[in-house]
A and B are shown apart, each in its own frame.
Chain A
């Protein structure tokens, strides 16, 4: 255990806000029109914190994640807002970075762990080549040191380092590949990790080992992490704070316990009531009627109103902004107090 603490860079549970998003909007230009994938998102990510961006298809969570590291496709554009990154007292405006500075930023400051699909890897090169290429393309030339570090990291993610480093991607299982991707993301000692659906498509037992590994990264190494997922369960396991996203906006933001036991936005409530728990007695589940909106042709007012049981005329006309509904807890809903009242009669308990 102490060995692994030496392996990774000193990440003290520090203070500071490594990442700030202010009023970020991202648009995709398609033939059919402009897709408003992310609309006016603001977020502060504190050092050592892990935030989960939870949403379904079309929520904008993946776009936002890609936007932070500026890996969006050409047809997408950040049309508004600022992304500020801080480390050791320096401040960088991420959106203004030129090509070289961006390369420095990506992977050295903020790296991304993609889904472990086979096509996250170049199939014709070995894992070592992938790691060396990544390191060298970000300015690190010392092959011996890179090799050393790669082996360390592979061991940290509990792989048989000597065997894996010379393997081809297709020789590894899905779980092993996901671990390699995590090791790869740590190669240049970033401060912030963004993980996109890190456990989707993995089997249950494999998923558990990855979750435990990420927990280790969080608890022992104090990494600052953003999880992007549609899976509420992984948020419950790993996140300190959760932001639920709908139609490109954050509709609720709060601590994990607040979100799960004291939600104030009808969408969050709907999601929680739609997800079954395995352990324990039977629970009634409820689905959310309707389907996510067309991002090119969004409804007026609050985008959730067509599916919302609390919707009134005001909801059809005005889109609510995030407002404080509790300590460090915000929700974007005109009727959050109705949700609060509902939960007083039908509270959400832990099944434990």
Chain B
């Protein structure tokens, strides 16, 4: 048991070392870890400030209020710390679902060809042409999109078509590669070929699209909140943005922190996810590792 644990620790160590070969990517990775820590663990240490303090409206950053205060005198920093969790959960759920659908069916379509491919492509094209925003509007009217998991699932269910096409064309070209043919000659089995020969060679695509799916979901939910389609309670970053916007917070020097902070938080999250992919690439594609 101990050796299994040790083995796991060693591979994590090795993986981290490989990721560190790309400085920028590793910085992104650290940033992501930090944001995760801040948004999931942080709230236990930095409780949400819900007390209205009329005398402290729109205070600039200070020792007391690291990021200033909002239109009700509430501390912005605590809102940032507490408001990221929902955003990230929606992003991860949406990203994971999109990627899962795209990779599974994209590889299947590319590898199997024929009828299977034709059916999958037709469905993809149909979903691709669905206008997302009107659909979300309609859904918002019909069901309460309050629940972050549901929102994540819906965004995920809409975001996979373009990724699937990319994965499919990768699978098509990989299918022709000599080493895949050799695997067939060696009778290694279809499952093995798909998951051990083809998919590992697509990891860069997969990682990047996972990242993009997440960033897309983040924008989508912020947009939804901004348009008032999703009446979130609480104060996630999207809500903060929406409230700040509605109050015209950008027009005043003092209130600008209220709108800039959630924007900054979102931007930092997006950037970290995207830059992290550079390090992840190194893990999955041995050829990119210099000095290995």
Q: Do chains A and B touch in the complex (CB under 8 A)?
A: yes
A binding-site residues for B, Cβ under 8 Å: 31-32
A31 neighbours in B (Cβ, 8 Å): 290
CB distance from B272 to the nearest CB of A (A): 25
Please report the total number of B residues contacting A with Cβ < 8 Å: 2
Asked if B286 is at the interface of the complex by the 8 Å CB criterion, the answer is no
Per DSSP, are chain B's interface residues mostly helix, strand or loop, or mixed?
Answer: loop
Asked if B291 is at the interface of the complex by the 8 Å CB criterion, the answer is yes
Per the bound structure, the CA–CA distance linking A32 and B290 in Å amounts to: 8
CB distance from B292 to the nearest CB of A (A): 11
Per the bound structure, the CA–CA distance linking A17 and B290 in Å amounts to: 45
Give chain B interface residues in 213-229, CB to chain A under 8 Å. Answer: none
Per DSSP, are chain A's interface residues mostly helix, strand or loop, or mixed?
Answer: loop
CB distance from B24 to the nearest CB of A (A): 15
Question: Can you offer 3 A-B residue contacts whose CB atoms are under 8 A?
Answer: A31-B290, A32-B290, A32-B291
B290 neighbours in A (Cβ, 8 Å): 31-32
B binding-site residues for A, Cβ under 8 Å: 290-291
In the complex, the chain A residue whose C-beta lies closest to that of B291 is A32
Per the bound structure, the CA–CA distance linking A31 and B290 in Å amounts to: 8
CB distance from B289 to the nearest CB of A (A): 11
CB distance from B200 to the nearest CB of A (A): 25
B291 neighbours in A (Cβ, 8 Å): 32
- The 3 residue pairs across chains A and B that have the minimum distance between CB atoms: A31-B290, A32-B290, A32-B291
Per the bound structure, the CA–CA distance linking A31 and B291 in Å amounts to: 9
In the complex, the chain B residue whose C-beta lies closest to that of A30 is B290
CB distance from A218 to the nearest CB of B (A): 39
CB distance from B208 to the nearest CB of A (A): 22
CB distance from B288 to the nearest CB of A (A): 12
CB distance from B64 to the nearest CB of A (A): 48
In the complex, the chain B residue whose C-beta lies closest to that of A31 is B290
Per the bound structure, the CA–CA distance linking A333 and B172 in Å amounts to: 52
CB distance from B23 to the nearest CB of A (A): 13
Per the bound structure, the CA–CA distance linking A32 and B291 in Å amounts to: 7
Per the bound structure, the CA–CA distance linking A31 and B289 in Å amounts to: 11
CB distance from A297 to the nearest CB of B (A): 13
CB distance from A263 to the nearest CB of B (A): 37
Per the bound structure, the CA–CA distance linking A114 and B291 in Å amounts to: 33
A32 neighbours in B (Cβ, 8 Å): 290-291
Per the bound structure, the CA–CA distance linking A31 and B22 in Å amounts to: 13
CB distance from B165 to the nearest CB of A (A): 24
Per the bound structure, the CA–CA distance linking A316 and B148 in Å amounts to: 70
CB distance from A28 to the nearest CB of B (A): 15
Per the bound structure, the CA–CA distance linking A181 and B291 in Å amounts to: 39
Per the bound structure, the CA–CA distance linking A32 and B292 in Å amounts to: 11
CB distance from A209 to the nearest CB of B (A): 31
CB distance from B213 to the nearest CB of A (A): 32
CB distance from B69 to the nearest CB of A (A): 49
CB distance from B282 to the nearest CB of A (A): 14
